Amino acid sequence: MKELVFLLEEESAKEMLKSSLPRILPYDITPQYFVFEGKQDLENQLIRKLKGYRVPNAKFVILRDQDASDCRIVKNSIIDKCNKTGRKDVLVRIVCREIESWYLADLAAVEQGLNVSKLVQLQNKNMYRTPDNIVSPSKRLKKIAPKYQKVSGSRAIGPFLDLNNNRSHSFAVFIAGIKKLCGIS
């Protein structure tokens, strides 16, 4: 594999990945990012994008927020679309709620990236121990870090994210999936 192609619902995911993935990807794997205009655009163009991508040995990662949907239904719907293309080299991951859940799982990264003091002290509060259960993580993050903006905030937080953090189960599963897809032990 030479390319790891990310199909993403939004620009903020791309910015977070661009600043965090270089810490785990082998040097010979080049990430490519395709950002769609939301989840509907991603799902509507998915089959065409997978069929049309002709780089040999490329593997794909589809990352989509759960939002208020049932994550199993969302994932199965995307897998069904992938199966229609005949591709077997696709990893589908659903972010529990929103990508901000991953940031709330690592308040030290938020504190460093956004230069907001004393956030790490909140990490042991019940809500932040299981951030995948927070109903509106983007609102919660904005409340504790008012200067957070989706794209610039993701770019700033990404370099500091602890990729071994398992407070967010969906983040841990995402990182494990990337490692497996790339043959990283």
Helix axes 71-85, 39-52, angle to 10 degrees: 20
Provide the 8-state DSSP code for 147: T
DSSP letters of 149-168?
-HHHHHHHHGGG--TT--SS
pLDDT of residue 1: 60
- Number of alpha carbons in the 13 Å side-chain half-sphere of residue 79: 10
Write out pLDDT tens, residues 48-64. Answer: 999 999 999 999 999 99
pLDDT of residue 88: 87
Write out pLDDT tens, residues 63-75. Answer: 999 998 898 999 9
Q: Please, are residues 83 and 120 in contact by the beta-carbon 8 Å criterion?
A: no
Residue 122 makes CB contacts below 8 A (sequence gap 6+) with 107, 128, 144
Question: What is the pTM assigned to this prediction?
Answer: 0.95
CA distance 142 to 139: 5
CA distance 66 to 45: 18
H/E element, 137: helix 137-144
The residue ranges of DSSP E strands in the chain, in sequence order, are: 3-8, 30-35, 59-65, 90-95
Q: Which of 23, 17, 59 is nearest to 35 (CA)?
A: 17
pLDDT of residue 180: 95
Read off the pLDDT band of 29 (50, 70, 90): very high
Q: Please, are residues 41 and 182 in contact by the beta-carbon 8 Å criterion?
A: no
